[in-house]
Amino acid sequence: MAKKVVLAYSGGLDTSVAIRWLQEERGYDVVALTIDLGNEKDLRTVEERAMQIGAVKALVRDGKQLFVDFFAFPALMAGAVYEGSYLLATAIGRPLIAKMLVDVAREEGATAIAHGCTGKGNDQVRFDVSTKALAPDLEIVAPVREHRMSREEQIEWAGARGVPVPATKASPYSTDENLWGRSIEAGMLEDPWEAPPEEIYAWTTSPRRSPDTPREVEIGFLHGRPISLDDHEMDGVTLVQTLNQWAGEHGIGRTDMVEDRLIGIKSREIYEAPAAWTLHNAHEALEQMTLSKPQLRVKNSLRQEYADLIYNGLWFTAHHQDLAAYVQSTQRFVTGTVRMRLHKGQAVAVGRKSPRSLYSYALATYDRGDQYDHNAALGFINIWGLPVQQQARQQLLAEGEAPFQLGNPDEGNTKEA
Ligand code: ARG
């Protein structure tokens, strides 16, 4: 009996060729596993194609609910944004796909998993490292990384063997999508001076052509998790799908950046993440109201760490568990509703309320009804300023010391030729 490999199968050219390559070059029986994380596709056709090419089994699994509950929303609660512009859609999908590959490998008695990543990106790292964490005994095969055939060479290779590969027109772009967002790279985007052409976008209307009238949506959160839109409770998958639609129509969630890949190169990336950005901005607005100042400060200082960890393929680590435990604890009182205005590419919080709000009208108001103790402020300032005053008297303003000066604004400005 031949040894078995479970291949993450998308139905595209790379992984279609990979089915036959794994058989011919490596002697594997191939179980093709197609995972649905919300990437709209004709899953039946994909399944059939895998069998036609020669897989011994073709499986389709729905990972949408797991993806939202255990990957996307936890990243949202952590406020994870990579290098200021990327909400990590592709990056959080990979560990789940790895987990599902490993699970199927166990069910099927396979000794290896395989994926269609090249040797130049982050995704290979995420798949490989996640697999090593979950199942150190499994082999990992990456056909594209190994055979290094170009698109044309793969089509020729498949043609010579009668492998029915998809006959879709070659797109110059490389894209990846799931519920949390869509990633677009390569083609003319490799020139960072070129503005992204409108044709690359699939989920968002150009803010130039989006409606002139704003749309408002009320997003309900329970312990940091989004649970409702406009007072209708719904499951996370439906919520994200619906919001992708609504926010996408208003052109929300496009980002264009040059990003640092883990493997050491900079690359130009375009993202569309309408629901993710809307939820991110809403969640942030609710945290401003429900977390104390030091909680916000410490939590914000961990955001970058959390984003890097996701980006760098370290989902299944103890470090992540530790950070996630902290984040989860911070979300205890992040419950309430945020009113978001969707308009011309922006999702802005224009209202927020929470039964656990730390904002108090009676304390904040300048009107009558003010319950703030103004005399206490005076006393507080005396104590707060005491060491400042003492140091000024004894040292900074002492005889012989230079008094405070604002200085010369041009000083220190070295002019370039
Ligand atoms: N640069 C992004 C990341 O590393 C997106 C990768 C997109 N993947 C793709 N196969 N097009 O997360």
Rg (CA), the chain: 27
Tell me, yes or no, whether 345 and 379 share the same domain: no
Please give the C-alpha separations between residue 375 and each of 342, 364, 369, 380, in angstroms, as whole numbers.
43, 16, 16, 9
Amino acid 132 reads K
pTM recorded for the entire structure: 0.94
Q: Is residue 417 part of a domain?
A: no
Structural domain including 265 reads 180-363
Write down the number of H helices and E strands in the chain.
Answer: 15, 14
Instruction: Tell me, yes or no, whether 241 and 124 share the same domain.
Output: no
- Residue-level pLDDT at 369: 80
CA distance linking residue 43 with residue 61, whole number of Å: 10
Output the domain CATH number for residue 222: 3.90.1260.10
Beta bridge pairs of residue 343: 346
Choose the residue to mutate in 255, 262, 269 for probing ligand 1, maximizing ligand atoms within 8 Å of C-beta.
Answer: 269
Active-site residue set:
14, 94, 123, 174
Residue 302 included in any domain: yes
Q: Are residues 74 and 184 in the same domain?
A: no
Domain for residue 396, yes or no?
yes
416 inside domain: no
| Nearest-atom index, ligand 1, CA of 186 | 11
Q: What single-letter amino acid sits at 228?
A: S
Distance from the CA of 261 to the center of ligand 1, in angstroms? 9
Same domain? For 222 and 356 the reply is yes
Q: What angle do CA 324, 329, 334 make, to 5 degrees?
A: 110
- Cβ–ligand 1 distance for 183 under 6 Å, the answer yes
Helix extents (H) in 148-292: 151-160, 236-249, 274-290
pLDDT digits (tens, 9 = 90+) for 167-218: 666 788 999 999 999 999 999 999 999 999 999 999 999 999 999 999 999 9
CA-based nearest residue to 92, from 81, 108, 104, 107 = 81
Say if residue 373's pLDDT is above 90: no
Residue 360's CB is within 10 A of a number of other CB atoms, namely: 10
Whether 140 shows a pLDDT value over 60: the answer reads yes
Task: Tell me: pLDDT of 309 over 90.
Answer: yes
pLDDT at residue 167, as a whole number: 67
256-293 as b/e, with b when 16 or more CB fall inside 10 Å?
A: ebebeebeeeebbbbbbbbbbbbbbbbbebbbebbbee
Asked, for residue 382, whether it belongs to a domain, the answer is yes
Q: How many domains does the chain have?
A: 3
Q: Measure the CA–CA gap between 50 and 192, rounded to whole angstroms.
A: 37
Residue of 37, 90, 257 best suited for mutating to test ligand 1, as the one with most atoms within 8 Å of CB: 90
The verdict on 291 and 402 lying in the same domain is no
Q: Out of 33-37, 59-63, 115-119, 361-365, pick the least confident.
A: 361-365
* Cβ 5 vs Cβ 30: under 8 Å: yes
Q: Is 185's C-beta closer than 6 angstroms to any atom of ligand 1?
A: yes
Identify whether residues 108 and 143 lie together within a single domain: yes
pLDDT, tens digit, 9 for 90 and up, residues 11-57: 999 999 999 999 999 999 999 999 999 986 789 999 999 999 999 99
Instruction: Determine which helix (DSSP H) or strand (DSSP E) holds 13, and give its type and residue range.
Output: helix 13-26
Kindly indicate the confidence band of residue 414, based on its pLDDT and cuts at 50, 70 and 90: low
- 174 in contact with ligand 1, CB cutoff 6 A: yes
Q: What percent of the chain has pLDDT over 90?
A: 86
Q: Using a 6 Å cutoff on CB, does residue 244 contact ligand 1?
A: no
91 touches ligand 1 (CB under 6 Å): yes
Mutate to test the pocket of ligand 1, among 88, 115, 122, 177 (most ligand atoms within 8 A of CB): 122
Q: Are residues 321 and 184 in the same domain?
A: yes
What is the chain's mean pLDDT, rounded? 95
Residues 139, 286, single domain; the answer is: no
Which residues make beta-bridge pairs with 6? 31, 113
Burial 298-311 (b: 16+ CB within 10 A, else e): ebeebbeebbebbb
Residues 116, 256 within the same domain: no
Residues 288 and 341 in one domain: yes
Quick one: 386 exposed, middle or buried, by C-beta within 10 A (0-12, 13-18, 19+)? exposed
Give the number of other CB atoms < 10 A from CB of residue 320: 18
Is there an atom of ligand 1 within 6 Å of 124 CB?
Answer: no
Q: What is the pLDDT of residue 370?
A: 85
Q: Is a pLDDT exceeding 90 seen at residue 361?
A: no
Indicate the residue among 150, 176, 202 that finishes a domain.
Answer: 176
How would you classify the pairing of strands 4-8 and 29-36? Answer: parallel
d(CA 134, CA 106): 11
- Going from the Cα of 296 to the center of ligand 1, the distance in angstroms, rounded, reads 30
Q: For residue range 71-128, list pLDDT tens digits in order.
A: 999 999 999 999 999 999 999 999 999 999 999 999 999 999 999 999 999 999 999 9
Do 344 and 237 lie in one domain? The reply is yes
